[in-house]
Structure 1
Amino acid sequence: MIPPMSNRFRIDDAAPPLVIPYPDLAQYRRPSQQHLDWLYAKGVPLTALKGPPLVLVASGYKALDGAFEPDAGGEEWLVFPLHDDVVYWQPRCGEFARWNGRAFAIGEDVIRAAATYSFGACLNIFGDPLQWLRAGRDGLVVADWGQAFNKLRDVPRIAVVESLLDKLEQHLQPPRLPEIFVLRQREVVA
């Protein structure tokens, strides 16, 4: 009888993949009257806040890795839940943080929606969530420009606020191009 091999891989030995659970949105608050008054003063119609998804409020800070860290003593952030991530926006400084780093943009689901481009319409890209909310959530707000090329390269038409035009053009370039060589054919001597 052949003894079992000690270096044989067994599925039971595999480590589970790293899973970052979706945050418990119940720990976040709905905007208070003070938040609503501030948003309304900034030109945001209250109908833009009811979602889906709802705009929530959380206290915390942005960690060094760009992730949001809840902290009751931290600054208040507006919270925008997405299907596989959560984007946090700090209105005072304009910074974005994300829960697990997957999200490209607030409102990114419109990229794949046929109605976004129907009748010659464009995908609208706004500079911050206030502009996006003032426009009735018609478009998106980029939270991670590093994903722009891969997420937007197949989009037929884009309308962007003027302040983002240079940034968009810079990020709609492939991150790198391959080095190209010419194959030389060898002559066959008969």
Structure 2
Amino acid sequence: MKGKSIGGRLAAPFVALRKDKQRRLFLRNSLIGITASFIVAIASVTAFRQEYRIGVDLASVRCLPWRLYFITYGLPQDLKVGEYVAFVPSAGLMGPHFDGKTVGKMIAGLPGDKLVVKGNVAYIGGRLIGELDLLDKLGKKPGDFDRTEVVPPGMVLVIGTEPRSYDGRYWGFLDQKLIIGRVGPII
């Protein structure tokens, strides 16, 4: 290596490549393959994000039992009791803390179902939903949320499956137009 300049040593592999047709073809095909793979990967991620999203719930008090969940975007055509949905609450529906955030809940009542809240217990269609465990936190007493209502057309009652969930038992019905997709567990 004595006597060769730094420039000569740096250029040597390219000089050798110019003379080796097989290596040039391999390098060219490799670069084309890597570029095509990169373009396909970008297109796939973009398409995936338009239809799906992975959500993470790190809150200490959750409304659903999962930490990691999958959202499939699109308004479900036929809503069913027991189905999990994602929605973005309209201003003031759940309070300022939730404005603009994606929330997941379970559908507990459909149009025509009767909601009864008495004392600190809620029922929908005669089925027990659960107790209102957040009365103290909300500064309310048993009876403050008492009501008997029928779920109106175009609305649903959504609840969390965890005991301390802040849901429709407290703030009422959700407009179906606010539903942005379905939710399912990952972990």
Is the structural similarity TM-score above 0.5?
no
TM-score tier (shorter):
under 0.3
Please identify the structure whose Cα radius of gyration is greater. 2
- TM-score, normalised relative to structure 1: 0.23
Structure in which a larger fraction of residues adopt strand:
2
**Greater relative contact order structure (CA < 8 Å, 6+ sep):** 2
